[in-house]
Structure 1
Amino acid sequence: MDTLKIGIIGAGRIASVLADTMVRMPDVELVGIASRSLEKAQEFAERFSIKKAYGTYEEMVKDPEIELVYIATPHSEHCNHAKLCLENGKHVLCEKSFAANVAQAEEMIAMAEDKKLLITEAMWVRYMPMAKTIKEVLNSGVIGEPMTLTANLCYLVSDKPRLIKPELAGGALLDVGVYTLNFASLIFGDEVTDIKSSVIKTETGVDAQNSITLCYPDGKMAILNSSLQVLSDRQGIIYGTKGYMVIENINNFESIKVYDKDRKVIETHERPEQISGYEYQITASAEAIKNGWTECPQMPHKTTLDIMKIMDELRNQWGLRYPFE
């Protein structure tokens, strides 16, 4: 396969991790970085030995050399930036949360499908080998029928302006809560029968922390917590009729420990060696482009939309609307 040539829109922290990952991958080439500041783009390019720096996003998407664009801008900008890329014939790997709401997500996906271009959500954990391992352990029946799960993801990040500004679609839900929702989706699927929640808001009006309970057919339940204000253990725990399993770090699966009815560890699975974990979504995107797919099987459009619908419903329960909606 020819080397996939990639550009990044946005030169923040996630873009830095991605750039560091891509320069170590043999089958892709990070060709360009675009920022609203040419100086920032040039500094970023120099740091990672990227050959092209652009002071506008428009300039980069018109570069014929770039095939795939990674969108690493705030949630509020994802829709416009994705459409800009698609209009210029670029495939898109879009940072989570995919969009600010389901209407935007539907618009992005419809445009990609119409143009026969790939668009996929960079929910990196869905592409990791450990996601498959979790499924295999569950399917083995070792913990019996999984009936309940808990997941939490909380960071001390309330000092970051991007995360507390309503105009940037800030709040815990779209930034970290989306991981807890994806964990629940990975285990129980997307057929949710009931959604209950509680929220504490910041002074700016976005969610500082939230607690979500999802119910599924056959009496299954997920209890999810996320916050910008505290530190948590980041665990996901799946409770079954014969035992339970603990997944360390639902934001970058590290290990799985399986416990029997006596609460004794009977299996342990460790994460394989990786560059950063971001490489798997890049490889999956490359495979999808090679095959002419408009979505990645690891993160289907339907799942992205189902989770966006849940987040819209949660914000509706909380009376949280972004200024641009």
Structure 2
Amino acid sequence: MNIGIIGAGSIAKTMAKTVFAIPDKAKIYAIASRSLEKAQEFAREFNIPKAFGSYEEMLQNPAIDLVYIATPHSQHYQNMKLCLANNKAVLCEKAFTKNTMEAEEILREAESKNILVTEAIWTRYMPSRKIISETISSGIIGDVDHLSANLHYSIANKERMVRPELAGGALLDLGVYCLNFATMFFGNEIEKIDSSAALTDTGVDRFNSMTVFFKDGKIASLTSGFTNRSDRKGIFHGSKGYAIVENINNPSSITCYDTNDMELKHIDFPEIATGYEYEVLECREILEQKKIQCPSMPHEETVFIMKIMDGLRKKWGVKYSGENL
């Protein structure tokens, strides 16, 4: 499977390293940046055959099977529109788009043209997801009715985090992982969400807190922010104990404890190249099957999460350029 990358930043480099580790399954065939010099530098670093200073030019190359979009969220809609216009399958970084309207339009077009488009929420594709689910459902910590998850990094110096024209803020960059963590394990039958946010001078959320109430009585307590680093843990609270997932953004293990804090079970998750390989491999499989959705992240889930984030931002008063939330 030949992959073309749009955007030559740090996430794109991670993808290049990932694909380099699975040479029998995929290869990076081309890199495109708005700067030809930057694309050529990237191509030299990762031994990529083709470098382009134009997204359009790369997408016209018939050898490319899948396009990985590694630009800021604010550009995803336009980038995916361009890919679809050139009949290219797409693996797009989170957040999928700025808002639901953009997401729904992209997915309608993908479905009408029978082209694979999927969101790269890597934690949904990883084997850790199944292991966590099986561990919790085994009953080792009893009946679980609450989980907490947090994801905070000290990245306020990043322009993409603070600029509203880049769809900045903690929610779309970090909170999206917390919401996906909650819905992966508690489902999407949500009754209501209580939330609050602290905004920057530029009008985006630097910290947010969400309490998600599910119709079956479960509750998820979630926080994300970009001014300080947190422990990034996901904790399931059960009638017989609790279980801690280390790093909800790239899970490394789960440890179960009883009500006296005695360890019951510890599972280290499988070693990974970078973690991105699972989304790449699933895309390859789905392309071979001539399908247009990845089961790990179906279209309806992408839209569902986007609708939640739209509602939260509307409550907080966070708007991006040209929006009418």
What's the CA shift for 1:48?
0.2
What's the CA shift for 1:46?
0.3
Moved more, 82-91 or 30-39: 82-91
Query: Residue 250 of structure 1 aligns to a residue in which SS?
Result: coil
On the 8 A contact 1:197/1:212 being kept in 2, the answer is yes
Query: Residue 232 of structure 1 aligns to a residue in which SS?
Result: coil
Residue by residue over 1:113-138, the C-alpha shift from the partner in whole angstroms, topping out at 9 and shown as x without a partner, is 11111111100011101111001112
| In structure 1, C-alpha distance between the alignment counterparts of 2:185 and 2:215, rounded to whole Å | 13
Residue by residue over 1:71-122, the C-alpha shift from the partner in whole angstroms, topping out at 9 and shown as x without a partner, is 0011011111111101111100000011100111111111111111111110
Q: Counterpart amino acid of 1:5?
A: N
Partner of 2:172: 174
What's the CA shift for 1:263?
2.1
Partner of 2:19: 22
* Pick aligned residue for 2:229 from 225, 228, 231: 231
1:166-315 pair list within 5 angstroms: 166-315=164-313
Residue by residue over 1:130-164, the C-alpha shift from the partner in whole angstroms, topping out at 9 and shown as x without a partner, is 11100111221112221001000000100011111
Q: Counterpart amino acid of 2:111?
A: E
| In structure 2, C-alpha distance between the alignment counterparts of 1:244 and 1:104, rounded to whole Å | 39
Moved more, 19-28 or 35-44: 19-28
| In structure 2, C-alpha distance between the alignment counterparts of 1:274 and 1:260, rounded to whole Å | 29
What's the CA shift for 1:323?
1.3
What's the CA shift for 1:187?
1.1
What's the CA shift for 1:218?
2.1
Partner of 1:9: 6
| In structure 2, C-alpha distance between the alignment counterparts of 1:145 and 1:32, rounded to whole Å | 49
| In structure 2, C-alpha distance between the alignment counterparts of 1:285 and 1:265, rounded to whole Å | 38
| In structure 2, C-alpha distance between the alignment counterparts of 1:142 and 1:231, rounded to whole Å | 30
| In structure 1, C-alpha distance between the alignment counterparts of 2:130 and 2:52, rounded to whole Å | 38
| In structure 1, C-alpha distance between the alignment counterparts of 2:101 and 2:237, rounded to whole Å | 34
Runs of 5+ consecutive residues of structure 2 not aligned to the other structure? none
Residue by residue over 1:231-275, the C-alpha shift from the partner in whole angstroms, topping out at 9 and shown as x without a partner, is 100000011122211000000000000112322111111021111
Residue by residue over 1:145-202, the C-alpha shift from the partner in whole angstroms, topping out at 9 and shown as x without a partner, is 2100100000010001111110110000000110100100111111111011111111
Indicate the percent of aligned positions where both proteins have the same amino acid.
Answer: 52
| In structure 1, C-alpha distance between the alignment counterparts of 2:95 and 2:267, rounded to whole Å | 28
| In structure 1, C-alpha distance between the alignment counterparts of 2:104 and 2:92, rounded to whole Å | 14
Which segments of structure 1 move beyond 2 Å, counting only runs of 4 or more? none
| In structure 2, C-alpha distance between the alignment counterparts of 1:154 and 1:285, rounded to whole Å | 29
| In structure 1, C-alpha distance between the alignment counterparts of 2:101 and 2:116, rounded to whole Å | 19
| In structure 1, C-alpha distance between the alignment counterparts of 2:163 and 2:259, rounded to whole Å | 46
Q: Counterpart amino acid of 2:244?
A: V
Residues 1:67 and 2:43 aligned together: no
Partner of 2:75: 77
Query: Residue 33 of structure 1 aligns to a residue in which SS?
Result: strand
| In structure 2, C-alpha distance between the alignment counterparts of 1:10 and 1:29, rounded to whole Å | 17
On the 8 A contact 1:167/1:324 being kept in 2, the answer is no
* Pick aligned residue for 1:133 from 112, 131, 135: 131
Partner of 1:151: 149
TM-score by length of 2: 0.98
Query: Residue 218 of structure 1 aligns to a residue in which SS?
Result: coil
Partner of 1:41: 39
Residue by residue over 1:31-52, the C-alpha shift from the partner in whole angstroms, topping out at 9 and shown as x without a partner, is 0000000000000000000000
On the 8 A contact 1:33/1:53 being kept in 2, the answer is yes
On the 8 A contact 1:106/1:305 being kept in 2, the answer is yes
Moved more, 183-192 or 38-47: 183-192
| In structure 1, C-alpha distance between the alignment counterparts of 2:84 and 2:239, rounded to whole Å | 47
